Amino acid sequence: MAKTQLIVAIVFVLGAQLVAAAEKPNIVLITVDDLGYGDLGVYGHPVIESPNLDQLANDGMRLTQYYAPSGLCSPSRAGVLTGRTPYRTGIKSWIPEGSGIFLRSEEITLAELLKNEGYNTALIGKWHLNANLGSENEPQPMDQGFDNFYGHNAFQIPTNRNPTNIYRGREKLPPQEGYTADLYADASIEWLSEQSADTPFFLYLSMAEPHTTIENPADFNALYKRFTNGPIVPIPSGEAEPPKGKLIPRGPGEYYANITYMDHQLGRVLDQIDNLGFTDNTVVVFVSDNGPVTSDWIHWWEVNAYGSTGGLRGRKHGLYEGGIRVPAIVRYPGMVDAGSSSSEAIIGMDLYVTLAEIAGAKVPDDRILDGINVSDAWQGKALEERTLFWALDSVSDLEYAVRRGHWKLLLDRRGQARELYHLEQDPLELFDRLADEEDVQVLLQAHARQVMSTFSDRTDERRAE
């Protein structure tokens, strides 16, 4: 009798474990590169066609006040994957090749949390959290929680067509034939087809588009030919000298086409999730890593990017709304109502905590986390008022920003208050209220300084020995 009871108990425990595994949702986090708040049809762009992402929003929730952790790619990605203000991770700006800057191995990524919960994990696309892919001296994606990696680092070379800087694991591959959008969609579809209902999975699909320099298939360029002046001459990157003779403004047609092509390939991935029967138990989160490159170009490789902030002030490289408020869509049947929207202020670090806790993972308690679980907002509820903080070492003297309620304060590199805006009354940040709202200024400046005081010396970029 005792033996029978033991067998029954074992079967019960194993059955409970299988049920628990089955209940863990799959997670697909899609990050795109330099997409502006106004660059999709569902976010109001009057020209760009983005039917698949528009449908994703119709099937889920559109976030109207989602903020990237930073106005640049590397720190933003560090914030999403660690739940920590990027300066805590040592990544203040974008990481140049050979700089020796990397995400430290002691940081605990979302992939590591989910892998410890039994998830299969894959990163397909852009990494850009170290200076040298394949290096033995810097942590690689597969050292930081990803079972599989296929992708690139900073940007596509020479363009997103037939890229020469793609890696699989630690191995640099020969030139890949195709466009990064279809290469990464193909790789995602193949990986998804290898997954089963018995084991939850985490796919971090990190698209290269619409980061310059770009090329598109001819039929997609043709969709927007009325917005392109003259013949299309690709602007390559990765050469010894900038291709000055090719830096000719041609209008926004190619940029528009690049987004529509990206949307088309993402549609293929979303269809695969549906075709495999994963939709009902899969959280899909779509975000941009930072604001867009507008026609106010700063660097030569930005020529012929025409991103839209939806009218918000600023662009990539800055902390005005146009640099950090970006599109974000969440689809999770059973939690998120189809066709809904939320105006709750949410920041990229929140994704770390929210996705981990939805998956049943315990977030680290031995370090400061700057995100919270925002699943209440995904269910249409209000979040408690809190303070959001940004830091960015870039082209502006405005290095810090802090928001509480509708107030947003910008501070300089010395931590001095410089500009104050009321985002509900003045979403375009046109009217500086610093001179007449001293109490608000003092409160927000104190909070910014309190956050800065928690940065250790190790928040300086770490360089490889």
Full pLDDT tens readout for the chain, 465 residues: 454 454 444 444 333 333 344 489 999 999 999 999 999 999 999 999 999 999 999 999 999 999 999 999 999 999 999 999 999 999 999 999 999 999 999 999 999 999 999 999 999 999 999 999 999 999 999 999 999 999 999 999 999 999 999 999 999 999 999 999 999 999 999 999 999 999 999 999 999 999 999 999 999 999 999 999 999 999 999 999 999 999 999 999 999 999 999 999 999 999 999 999 999 999 999 999 999 999 999 999 999 999 999 999 999 999 999 999 999 999 999 999 999 999 999 999 999 999 999 999 999 999 999 999 999 999 999 999 999 999 999 899 999 999 999 999 999 999 999 999 999 999 999 999 999 999 999 999 999 999 999 997 544 443 322
* C-alpha span between 51 and 61 (Å, rounded): 15
Q: What predicted TM-score, i.e. pTM, was given to this entire model?
A: 0.93
Give the residue from 409, 414, 413, 419 showing the smallest Cα distance to 443. Answer: 409
CA Rg, the chain, in Å?
Answer: 22
Residue 398 dihedral angles phi and psi, to the nearest 5°: -85, 95
Secondary structure of 128-142 in HEC code, one letter for each residue: CCCCCCCCCCCCCHH
Q: How many residues does the chain have?
A: 465
Cα–Cα separations (whole angstroms), residue 176 to 150, 167, 181, 186, 338: 11, 10, 12, 12, 38
- Are 69 and 85 spatial neighbours (Cβ–Cβ below 8 Å)? yes
- Are 373 and 350 spatial neighbours (Cβ–Cβ below 8 Å)? yes
Q: Is the peptide bond before 213 cis (omega within 30 degrees of 0)?
A: yes
Indicate the DSSP class of residue 161: B
- For the chain, which domains are there? 25-384 (3.40.720.10)
Instruction: Please count the other Cβ atoms lying within 10 Å of the Cβ belonging to residue 358.
Output: 17
Residue 10 dihedral angles phi and psi, to the nearest 5°: -65, -45
Largest interatomic CA distance in the chain? 87
